[in-house]
Structure 1
Amino acid sequence: MRPLADLDGTVDRVVVDAPCTGAGTWRRNPDAKWRLRPGSLSTRLAEQAAVLDRAGRLVRPGGRISYITCSLLPQENDGALDAFLGRAEGFAVVPARDVVARVLPALADAVRFTRHGLQMSPARTGTDGFYVASLERRG
């Protein structure tokens, strides 16, 4: 059963606060890295794939997915989007530099731009480690 099936292809924006390892919070919660179990990363990657696939079904043509993690691990960030883009047709990355320049230009000097998104880190922003990217469904 898919309780949101009637919304497929109709949603303007889907925000994915992805399940992740929480590696971006280790500065604030150093014990968290020791609570990771073998297989935790692969479990999170599978969950991220499922959530992104669901978001992809919901969003309408011209709509966007905002993908967010509190991880600094590339596998959970650009890697998760690479995998999604390989599975899903009709999606393109919205360049993070363009979004930042339009919405909050002062942020550009504080973040690190990645292939698909942007990453905030304690060293550069004083925040936990976060990753944000945006995808647009074309056609």
Structure 2
Amino acid sequence: MIAVSALAQAAMAQSTDGRLSIELNKFEETDDGACQAYFLFGNDTGLGLESFELSLAILDSQGVIDSLLTIDASPLPPARTTLKLFAIPEISCSDISEILLHDIPACKPQNADPLDCFDLVDLDSKASAPLVK
């Protein structure tokens, strides 16, 4: 029984050697004055994530936190890049100077215990604002 548990833990550790890439690809203004953000999520962990949430701080043009936003990007299938769109309310895209990944409150593989995925994440941005940790 202990050997099976050790093997399961070793398999889980090996499968999380891969990375999760998050790219802020672009912004688009919406008709109501909000900002639509396009994110690309690349899951190279070898695990299908049934739960994956990000806590983001949106900084305005003065570098002051304008709002906190929690986005649910799940599910994230393994070995695949997934496009997700999220509305950032009450701020124009041109007024966003930076998006800070504050926390990852949920990262749960299918049929497994939740993980701390913060150190597995690589960030990039092609938008006018950087995406940073």
Both proteins in one fold, TM over 0.5: no
Which structure has the larger Rg?
Answer: 2
Which protein has the bigger strand share?
A: 2
Q: Give TM-score scaled by structure 2 length.
A: 0.27
